């Protein structure tokens, strides 16, 4: 499939521009005529004439999706049609990519497609979780409730992400200060003393020689250090895209002290909230597990849920493979088992989600407190080594003067 840009004339005689995906130009023209448009020009887009949007990460933030869903629910409850709702919502966001996706979705709905089918054409904007929820809402006639559930889902997800970022701000700032202090002392302070020590001509301690060489490397070989760091970062990113890399980093995330437990709690909250939302909307358990597995950021949790889906298709309870995995806390499998026995899986998952969301909030609040002394100790060691490297030759020099 190729992408084409077109200029056409509407029935009212107005000019209309847009883009369409098709196998060839003829099908684009046929599609335009089917919509009552008269095509003037149709051009296939390539690397030279195609709009290039460079984005880091997802082009639409979770918070924007939560606002979109909440507004959509309110508009639908007011009796507004889906097409008019999309038209109104396209003007409510300042995100150009999001705005463009909503307009394209509106055009697809006007052509007779369902809202879910139209949203599925923009996978980078509308996640599969939202699309499947919309599809279930349309099938059951409760589209407004589906958007309400997704608004809550995205709000909870955004809150967890915000808490994680907030917890890391202070440690990152301390690391930045430590790095700045190291560079300043290596570039400004150490060279001044190094010149004096060289003129003395006496044998310098190993620690002083080490700091002086490190200072010279930072001053005169900084580009080499920057190149090495760049190679390492790129190498890690490339390796992380492989299956082996995903498994390795997935295991490392679980073994990091303090952060490992926080990662498990966050994954448990995400799993419970997502699965509860999907099951509550009438989506089958196996399909809900498949969608939930794709929402997990750690490949280890993804594999557990994929296996759970396979077991569920054979009639095995959900709690058994979850418990056997050893990844999720025991409470998750126990609450799932109770939900299965009472026929209230959704309610039990909601309780699990609320519990671990609270746990994540408490853990993130104490994370900065836990990391602060560690980072301060690291800073003290770095500065202490530099001070010792400067102080030890000076002591030797004063001792030599006393003997004269």
In a domain, 53, yes or no: no
- pLDDT confidence band for 398 (50 / 70 / 90): low
On the CB side of 50, CA atoms within 13 Å amount to 12
In percent, the amount of the chain with pLDDT more than 70 equals 91
pLDDT of residue 338: 92
pLDDT of residue 4: 78
Domain of 227, CATH number, reads: 1.20.81.30
Distance CA 133, CA 147 (A): 8
My answer on whether 25 and 110 are in the same domain is no
Domain boundary pick from 126, 155, 184: 155
My answer on whether 394 and 262 are in the same domain is yes
Q: Which of 22-36, 159-173, 335-349 has the lowest mean pLDDT?
A: 159-173
My answer on whether 357 and 299 are in the same domain is yes
My answer on whether 119 and 173 are in the same domain is no
In a domain, 55, yes or no: no
My answer on whether 132 and 183 are in the same domain is no
Domain boundary pick from 155, 188, 211: 155
My answer on whether 176 and 141 are in the same domain is no
Q: How does the average pLDDT of the chain come out, rounded?
A: 81
Q: Which of 44-53, 87-96, 329-338 has the lowest mean pLDDT?
A: 44-53
Per-residue tokens: 5: 């840009």
**Predicted confidence (pLDDT) per residue in 258-312, tens digit:** 778 888 988 898 888 888 888 887 888 888 888 888 888 889 998 999 999 998 8
Residue 350 has pLDDT above 80, yes or no: yes
Decide: 321 and 308 in contact? Cβ < 8 Å. Answer: yes
pLDDT of residue 88: 87
Residue 387 has pLDDT above 50, yes or no: yes
**Predicted confidence (pLDDT) per residue in 354-371, tens digit:** 898 888 878 877 776 777
DSSP string for residues in 67-119: HHHHHHHHHHHTT--HHHHHHHHTTS---HHHHHHHHHHHHHHHTT--HHHHH
Instruction: Indicate the number of domains in the chain.
Output: 3
pLDDT of residue 1: 56
My answer on whether 27 and 76 are in the same domain is no
Residue 16's domain comprises 2-44
My answer on whether 130 and 181 are in the same domain is no
In a domain, 182, yes or no: yes
Residue 400 has pLDDT above 60, yes or no: no
My answer on whether 337 and 371 are in the same domain is yes
In percent, the amount of the chain with pLDDT more than 90 equals 6
My answer on whether 300 and 241 are in the same domain is yes
- pLDDT confidence band for 402 (50 / 70 / 90): low
My answer on whether 235 and 323 are in the same domain is yes
Residue 231 has pLDDT above 90, yes or no: yes
In a domain, 325, yes or no: yes
Decide: 84 and 90 in contact? Cβ < 8 Å. Answer: no
My answer on whether 75 and 146 are in the same domain is yes
In a domain, 275, yes or no: yes
- pLDDT confidence band for 52 (50 / 70 / 90): very low
User: In Å, what is the CA distance from 332 to each residue of 5, 269, 285, 294, 319?
Assistant: 51, 10, 16, 19, 8
């Amino acid at each position: 499939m190729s992408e084409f840009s077109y200029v056409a004339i509407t029935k009212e005689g107005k000019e209309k521009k847009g883009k369409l995906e098709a196998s060839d130009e003829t099908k684009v023209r046929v599609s335009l005529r089917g919509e009552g448009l008269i095509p003037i020009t149709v051009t296939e887009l390539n690397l030279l004439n195609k709009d290039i949007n460079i984005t880091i990460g997802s082009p639409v933030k979770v918070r924007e999706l939560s606002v979109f869903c909440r507004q959509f629910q309110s508009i639908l409850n007011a009796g507004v049609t889906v097409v008019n709702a999309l038209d109104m919502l396209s003007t409510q966001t300042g995100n150009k990519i999001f705005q463009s996706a909503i307009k394209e979705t509106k055009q697809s709905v006007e052509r007779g497609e369902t809202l879910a089918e139209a949203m599925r054409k923009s996978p980078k904007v509308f996640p599969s979780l939202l699309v499947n929820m919309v599809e279930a809402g349309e099938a059951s006639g409760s589209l407004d409730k589906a958007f309400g559930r997704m608004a809550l889902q995205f709000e909870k997800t955004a809150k967890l992400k915000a808490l994680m970022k907030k917890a890391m701000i202070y440690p990152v700032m301390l690391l930045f200060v430590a790095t700045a202090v190291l560079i300043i002392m290596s570039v400004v302070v150490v060279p001044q003393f190094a010149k004096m020590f060289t003129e003395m001509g006496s044998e310098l301690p190993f620690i002083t020689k080490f700091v002086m060489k490190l200072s010279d490397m930072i001053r005169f070989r900084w580009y080499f250090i920057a190149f090495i760091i760049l190679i390492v970062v790129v190498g890690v990113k490339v390796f992380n895209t492989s299956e082996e890399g995903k498994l390795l980093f997935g295991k490392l995330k679980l073994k990091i002290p303090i952060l490992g437990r926080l990662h498990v709690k966050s994954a448990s909250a995400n799993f419970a909230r997502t699965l509860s939302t999907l099951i509550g909307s009438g989506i089958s358990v196996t399909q809900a597990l498949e969608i939930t597995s794709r929402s997990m950021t750690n490949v280890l949790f993804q594999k557990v849920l994929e296996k759970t889906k396979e077991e569920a298709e054979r009639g095995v309870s959900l709690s058994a493979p979850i418990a056997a995995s050893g990844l999720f806390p025991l409470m998750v499998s126990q609450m799932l088992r109770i939900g299965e026995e009472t026929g209230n899986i959704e309610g039990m998952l909601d309780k699990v989600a609320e519990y671990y969301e609270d746990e994540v909030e408490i853990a993130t609040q104490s994370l900065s407190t836990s990391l602060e002394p560690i980072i301060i100790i690291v800073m003290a060691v770095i500065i202490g080594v530099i001070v010792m490297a400067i102080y030890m030759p000076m002591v030797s020099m004063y001792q030599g003067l006393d003997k004269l």
